[in-house]
Amino acid sequence: MGDPNAKYQSPLTSRYASPEMAANFSNNKRFGTWRRLWYNLAVAEKQLGLGGITDLALDQMKSNVDNIDYEVANREEKKRRHDVMAHVHAFGLVAPEAAGIIHLGATSCFVTDNADLIIFRDAMDLLIGKLVCVISDLAQFAVKHKDLPTLGFTHFQPAQLTTVGKRATLWIQELLWDLRNMKRARDDLGFRGVKGTTGTQASFLALFAGDHDKVEQLDQLVTELSGFSTCYPVCGQTYSRKIDVDFLSPLASFGATAHRIATDIRLLANLKEIEEPFEKDQIGSSAMAYKRNPMRCERICSLSRHLMVLIGDVLQTASVQWLERTLDDSANRRISIPEACLTADIVLTTMQNVVEGLVVYPKVIERRIRSELPFMATENFIMAMVTKGGDRQECHEQIRVLSHQAAAVVKQEGGDNDLIDRVRACEYFAPIKDDLDELLNPATFIGRAPQQVDNFVANHVAPALAPYSAAIAAKKPAELSV
């Protein structure tokens, strides 16, 4: 087979992807699914009275579904330039009794398109299973830190306080929307069914001697045998490539969510308030030994960008399908759709690894609050002075002067914010000196953040995760290979 390191390998599978998602897009899964579809078609045709299909033929087909001789298939494809007929030939060699009835009445898209729909649905099941685990872990993080005040940021400039847990609910809310979108896309997937070369079912009508009812029964029976309740009512040679757009859109949208969350964590890591896990022997930089780079979140951002742009491939493919079909969709779809699923899988695994090991540094957060809170508390100072008989406008002017003096110390001298010391030393503010500590208590600046976390988790997160309780209970720690 040669040295695998002597040729290009996709890092999606060689470095990052989970074994289960890589297996879902493997040749074994694809061509094994083709054979199951041929078997289902033969079973249904025989059940509806079509002659020439023996029990022995069905037994041979069933027992050889996964017995694929790739050398035979590859040799035949090189000769015929047709992958489906190459695998019809290879299947017939191991199921000789069925060789004459494999693919009977069908067109290539019977196996290629229907197999894709099965594989896509299985891929989405894997992604949803991982997404709910990420949401569950983040919800626990939010509840744990719901009362921990932290400086809010707008425009990445200091703003009013929030809590670490409340900030996490902003991430969770977007992930819940992603869960909704993925589930809807998964449940909306239908089956192409048994439609023939241009979607008219003419070949099957001929097989059943013009019996329209039997053709309709065949379509429904093969659909059900293949694990679907419904098939698309009409199609050309392929199912509409609009379905691929609907399938990939939630993944692209999730890519935006993942990028946003990972970017937030990277920003907070720079502030040393929150960090992704950093292993004992991990190296952050080959030159700067002290560094703790957020490589996991950087990987999430990098792959999420790739995930977001893949939607362009399926949009363009859907837009240029001529009449009943053209073949210029095939090569593109072999790359874009598996890569989208593999990339989403990698991002989710990495996100789970990050969330499971998020480290919070309360003392750093507290120090940053102390440096900014005096300016934010000035409105409280004014209100407190007014309640003790002060004049609002005069108080505002006193605060303005002291604030500008303190800001000059911070910006021009590089000193600490000494506004509170200036307020304490100012005779004008003597009436509230004893109240300053309480007026500066961070817990009084977080509004309803803790209550919002509790309400959000109880009323929105828990109901959304309830159908997946078994998957969440069976969750294992996410490990990265590199």
Active site residues: 155, 285
Length of the chain measured in residues = 482
d(CA 54, CA 272): 71
* 218 in Cβ contact with 208 (< 8 Å): yes
